[in-house]
């Protein structure tokens, strides 16, 4: 597998392969790249940003409070399409707790506009 390390602006090009029972990362400029490459190969995760609709109209920009497995992203986006935010909120408020059972909560990333 080829990928790019996103842990710093250097953007090292990584090659990740299984050699026997080991996962071997090549092309990394530092140990963080090796850790990133192994994670991308065995259990890739992403922080997800999206929009939720408000009950009274308009949308709220949100993100997960931690990376979630890539195979859970579609579930999260389906949940987001059906969910409606009610009440007041401000940046950093938790708008939903663990909606797709992977331990990530949904945070508002902007204050409510008047
Ligand atoms: S491997 Fe190290 S130097 Fe290269 S992009 Fe990743 S963090 Fe930066």
Two structure tokens written together for 11: 């953007």
Q: How far is the CA of 114 from the centre of ligand 1 (A)?
A: 43
Is residue 11 lining ligand 1, measured as CB closer than 6 Å?
Answer: yes
Structure confidence by residue, pLDDT tens digits, 54-82: 999 999 999 999 999 999 999 999 999 99
Is residue 32 lining ligand 1, measured as CB closer than 6 Å?
Answer: yes
Q: How far is the CA of 25 from the centre of ligand 1 (A)?
A: 12
Is the distance from CB of 32 to CB of 12 less than 8 angstroms? no
Is residue 5 lining ligand 1, measured as CB closer than 6 Å?
Answer: yes
Is residue 6 lining ligand 1, measured as CB closer than 6 Å?
Answer: no
pLDDT of residue 114: 65
CA dist 45 and 53 (Å) reads 25
Is residue 66 lining ligand 1, measured as CB closer than 6 Å?
Answer: no
pLDDT of residue 113: 76
pLDDT of residue 112: 86
pLDDT of residue 23: 95
**Domains assigned to the chain:** 2-42 (no CATH), 49-108 (3.10.530.10)
CA dist 15 and 27 (Å) reads 6
Atom in ligand 1 nearest the alpha carbon of residue 30: 2
List of the chain residues with pLDDT < 70: 114
CA angle at 74 for the pair 69 and 80, rounded to the nearest 5°: 110
């Amino acid at each position: 597998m080829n990928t790019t390390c996103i842990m710093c602006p250097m953007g090292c090009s990584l090659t990740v392969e299984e050699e026997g029972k080991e996962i071997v990362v090549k092309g990394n400029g530092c140990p963080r790249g090796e850790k990133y490459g192994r994670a991308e190969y065995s259990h890739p995760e992403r922080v997800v940003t999206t929009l939720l609709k408000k009950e009274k109209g308009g949308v709220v920009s949100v993100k997960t409070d931690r990376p979630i497995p890539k195979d859970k992203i579609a579930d999260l986006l389906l949940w987001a399409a059906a969910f409606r935010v009610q009440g007041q909120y401000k940046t950093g408020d938790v708008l939903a707790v663990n909606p797709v059972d992977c331990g990530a909560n949904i945070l508002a990333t902007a204050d409510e506009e008047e």
